Amino acid sequence: MSLIKNRIACASALGLLGLLLAPGCTGQGKYTREGISLAEEKMSILKSGTEWQMAHQAYLSGDLDKALRKVDASLSLNDNVTKSHVLKGRILLEMGDLGAALESLLTAQTIDPQNADANYYLGIVYERLDETEQAAACYKHACELDGFNPSYAVAAAEMLIDLGRLDEAQKYLESGPMFEHDAGVRQALGHIAMIQGDPDLAASMFEEATLLAPSDNVLLEDLTRAEMATGKYADAEQNLRRLMKDPDHKGRRDIQHMRAQCLVELDRPVEAREIYQALLEGDDGLADTEAWIGLANVAFLIDDQRTLRRCASRVVAMAPARAEGYALWGLWYRTEGDLDKAVASIDRAIEARPDDAAMHAFRGVVLADAGRKQEAVDAFTDAVALDPANAGYQFMLDQAEQGVFATAPSTTE
């Protein structure tokens, strides 16, 4: 009997062991496998995020090759992340590969059509490809998705400006939330005003922009140009001195030209002469036609006839198709009392620039000097016709018609 019990117990033990070793009971269960898959997915996402961070840091530091490798590694771990495709598009954009950048950004837009950055950088790609309408549409869409980012609105407005839709650009910039106190928006409105021929409004916009971003010298330069256009030369000259202290502006020749022009308008020709003389030094200076013209005008103002003659000769030699050199010869011949040669030189200047009212007025002055009244009247009539809003030309015409014209020196600017 005991033998039978032992066999039953043994069989039971073997049966239990068989159940434990049966295929359905070996390995991991359903929930265990799901837990492991979930953990692996989380780890993959974590690694992908780490690679993205490294790619982003490399991009910011300018190491584009490393940035591209890291963002590709991030995408290989998880290719359904919008910001990864956006970053790759930005990297490729910086590398000049517009086709690949476009592909990455379109992928990002497909994954998340509501992503403002994807639409914004798509706009940049289309702008680089000279597809202005498409770029404007992308920028506007980005702004619709994130109406509190003024950079998107400014980019859209710049495209509208390029398309000649100035009124639309202006309304677009003025309609956004929080835009009133953004320097970039004020700057864009200033550019629109300048294009529309309203330098006073432009100066006001640029001044507001500089108050919002006082350390931005690009804004200060815009303000300076608007001030010069409105005749505020003292303010402009002060700002130019500030700009010339900035390392990014100090060596710029156009800034020095602007300051010299301001000094002439402020009746400080000797200081202006020093700037022009410095501009004419070196190889760049010898080829600077505008500096030779500026020096000639200053020489005329301070009665330096020798320098005026040298500049006139130089400008004609450098730019024989331009009017200024012949006008400078006209000034010199008139000062020397050779009025026939002065008229002949001015005629050549008018041939080069027939729509310049100042040239016709200058011709009238010299003809009046020579006592050729009717020819002087005709010349002033031409000047008035070309620039009817200029009261000075109308006054000269009236004086010439009455035969009491008193000549006044003129410069080429």
To 10 degrees, the CA torsion angle through 226, 230, 234, 235? -40
Q: Are residues 283 and 354 in the same domain?
A: no
> Sorting pLDDT into bands at 50, 70 and 90, what band is 55?
confident
> Which is nearest to 385 in space by CA: 343, 354, 410, 345?
354
Q: Are residues 413 and 384 in the same domain?
A: yes
Distance between CA 313 and CA 220 in Å, rounded? 37
Asked whether the CA dihedral 317, 322, 328, 334 is positive or negative, the reply is: positive
Within a domain: 309: yes
The confidence score (pLDDT) of residue 179 equals 72
**Of residues 124 and 9, more confidently modeled:** 124
Within a domain: 263: yes
Distance between CA 242 and CA 253 in Å, rounded? 15
Q: Are residues 265 and 310 in the same domain?
A: yes
Within a domain: 289: yes
Number of domains composing the chain: 2
Contact 314, 337 (CB under 8 A): no
Within a domain: 373: yes
Report the predicted TM-score, pTM, of the whole model to 2 decimal places: 0.76
| Residue 297 pLDDT exceeds 60 | yes
Within a domain: 376: yes
pLDDT (average), residues 57-66: 92
Length of the chain: 413
Lowest mean pLDDT among 41-50, 211-220, 281-290: 41-50
| Residue 235 pLDDT exceeds 50 | yes
Q: Are residues 306 and 273 in the same domain?
A: yes
- 80-129, pLDDT tens digit by residue? 889 999 999 999 999 999 999 999 999 999 999 999 999 999 999 999 99
Q: Are residues 401 and 349 in the same domain?
A: yes
> Radius of gyration over alpha carbons of the chain, in Å?
37
Distance between CA 291 and CA 396 in Å, rounded? 30
Distance between CA 58 and CA 74 in Å, rounded? 13
What rounded mean pLDDT belongs to the chain? 87
Within a domain: 350: yes
Instruction: Supply the CATH number for residue 391's domain.
Output: 1.25.40.10
The confidence score (pLDDT) of residue 178 equals 63
**Of residues 394 and 42, more confidently modeled:** 394
The confidence score (pLDDT) of residue 23 equals 46
Distance between CA 400 and CA 395 in Å, rounded? 9
Token duo for residue 267: 């009746």
Distance between CA 318 and CA 304 in Å, rounded? 21
> Which is nearest to 327 in space by CA: 355, 350, 299, 346?
346
* Domain final residue pick, 285, 320, 355: 320
* Domain final residue pick, 259, 292, 320: 320
Within a domain: 153: no
**Of residues 23 and 276, more confidently modeled:** 276
Q: Are residues 360 and 307 in the same domain?
A: no
Query: Domain range for residue 280?
Result: 251-320
The confidence score (pLDDT) of residue 174 equals 85
| Residue 20 pLDDT exceeds 70 | no
Distance between CA 187 and CA 222 in Å, rounded? 8
* SS3 per-residue string spanning the chain: CHHHHHHHHHHHHHHHHHHHHCHHHCCCCHHHHHHHHHHHHHHHHHHHHHHHHHHHHHHHHCCHHHHHHHHHHHHHHCCCCHHHHHHHHHHHHHCCCHHHHHHHHHHHHHHCCCCHHHHHHHHHHHHHCCCHHHHHHHHHHHHHHCCCCHHHHHHHHHHHHHCCCHHHHHHHHHHCCCHHHCHHHHHHHHHHHHHCCCHHHHHHHHHHHHHHCCCCHHHHHHHHHHHHHCCCHHHHHHHHHHHHHCHHHHCCHHHHHHHHHHHHHCCCHHHHHHHHHHHCCHHHHHCCHHHHHHHHHHHHHCCCHHHHHHHHHHHHHHCCCCCHHHHHHHHHHHHHCCHHHHHHHHHHHHHHCCCCHHHHHHHHHHHHHCCCHHHHHHHHHHHHHHCCCCHHHHHHHHHHHHCCCCCCCCCCC
Encoded amino acid at 273, one letter: R
Contact 108, 118 (CB under 8 A): yes
Cα–Cα separations (whole angstroms), residue 116 to 105, 138, 322: 11, 9, 50
Within a domain: 406: yes
Q: Are residues 259 and 307 in the same domain?
A: yes
Q: Are residues 315 and 360 in the same domain?
A: no
pLDDT (average), residues 312-329: 96
**Of residues 374 and 50, more confidently modeled:** 374
